Amino acid sequence: MATPQKTAARGAPAKQAAKPAAQPAKPAAQAAKPAQPAAKPANPTPQTGQQQARTQTAVVERQTTAVASSADVPDYIRQSQGRGSENVEMQDLVIPRIELVQALSYCLEEGGADYIEGAKPGMFYNSVTRELYGPSVIVCPVFFKKQYLVWKDRKKGGGFGGAFDSMQEAQARIAQETEEQDAWEAIETHQQIVLTVNQDTHETTEAVLSCARTKQKVSRQWNSLIRVNGFDRFSRVYELFGVDDENNAGEKFKNIGVRYVDFASMPVYKAAEALYNSIASGERTVKIDDEYIDAGMGSEDTTTPGTEAGDPGPTEY
């Protein structure tokens, strides 16, 4: 019976309506495809019901944000030219970080200055706008850079000592400390510069995903996936989602999972290309938001016993 069904699927699309009885698992996926716009084809890898729910939830969460979409801008404002910001230069701007909520994150402290309503461990949010993306977020990778971040053990007061392009520079920074030098550590960190993507409107926002310690394993796998897929780094879009993980001490925390979604739409590709060109040419120096240090960031795998350095973004790249 398998051979006739395959022939019918290839030669007579109109007869697919008779397939649900023989293949009950496929109709949901087939029914979902027509609803996708032409610029957003279905994921070539079938998603489970949980994965689909995760994506749908993320879309709902992203509709409530501190940044209005272009569709929400009133007509009398739409023609404005950005007056009042003439003196704002690139060094006066910061690129936000995509943060993953941990059990001890400040954003979970109800009544606190950094509280984000609805946030739960395993969700993502924007460190600048405080937008809660939800359990997943769609991104287009644009640029990769490796840096060495200097952190002080939180058990000994904590602190961020800066970001450097080499381990030698980072160690030299630690050598400047006159007290408790052993409390400081230089941590290799992958900086994934991305665009967050709204697949319905194709609107994008610049962001960085900082990956140290266990997140660095995810970053390496993501880099490998991007290379296997080929073409420009920013030719595809991917989904970031929260997963359960455990550190060397047996403590559970949230880590990042990555899955391929689709090719980037034309608007997203062009926006990513423009950002890449400005960074690669040296025309643009982007300052990454480093003012908000999340208390939950130290709950990861530790390579040095007793060290609980976090991994927010660096000052510049």
- Reduce the secondary structure of 25-62 to three states and give it as a string: CCHHHHHHHHHCCCCCCCCCCCCCHHHHHHHHHHHHHH
Q: Residue 255: which of 311, 303, 205 has the closest Cα?
A: 311
What tokens does 69 get? 């979409």
pLDDT reported for residue 149: 86
pLDDT reported for residue 137: 97
pLDDT reported for residue 8: 41
d(CA 261, CA 241): 12
pLDDT reported for residue 54: 38
**What's the full length of the chain, in residues?**
317
Q: Residue 150: which of 282, 290, 4 has the closest Cα?
A: 290
Longest dimension (CA), the chain: 79
Please give the C-alpha separations between residue 164 and each of 53, 97, 150, 238, in angstroms, as whole numbers: 40, 18, 8, 28
pLDDT tens per residue, the chain (317 residues)? 444 444 343 444 444 444 444 444 444 434 444 444 444 444 444 444 444 433 333 333 333 344 455 667 788 887 777 788 777 666 656 788 899 999 988 899 999 988 999 999 999 999 888 999 999 999 999 999 998 888 888 788 888 888 888 999 999 999 998 888 889 999 999 999 999 999 999 999 999 999 988 899 999 999 999 999 999 999 999 999 999 998 888 889 999 999 999 999 999 999 999 999 998 988 776 566 655 444 334 434 443 332 333 333 332 32
Phi/psi of residue 81, nearest 5 degrees: -110, 20
Please give the C-alpha separations between residue 182 and each of 122, 156, 204, 249, in angstroms, as whole numbers: 32, 10, 42, 21
- Reduce the secondary structure of the chain to three states and give it as a string: CHHHHHHHHHHCHHHHHHCCCCCCCCHHHHHHHHHCCCCCCCCCCCCCHHHHHHHHHHHHHHCCCCCCCHHHCCHHHHCCCCCCCCCCCHHHCEECEEEECCCCCHHHCCCCCCCCCCCCCCCEEECCCCCEEECEEEEEEEEEEEEEEEEECHHHCCEEEEEECCHHHHHHHHHCCCCCHHHEEEEEEEEEEEEEECCCCCCEEEEEEEEECHHHHHHHHHHHHHHHHCCCHHHEEEEEEEEEEECCCCCEEEEEEEEEEEECCHHHHHHHHHHHHHHHCCCCCCEECCCCCCHHHHCCCCCCCCCCCCCCCCCEC
Q: Where are the domains of the chain?
A: 92-145+191-298
Partners of 145 in beta bridges: 191
Q: Are 196 and 98 a contacting pair, CB within 8 Å?
A: yes
Would strands 204-212 and 184-197 be described as parallel, antiparallel, or unpaired?
Answer: antiparallel
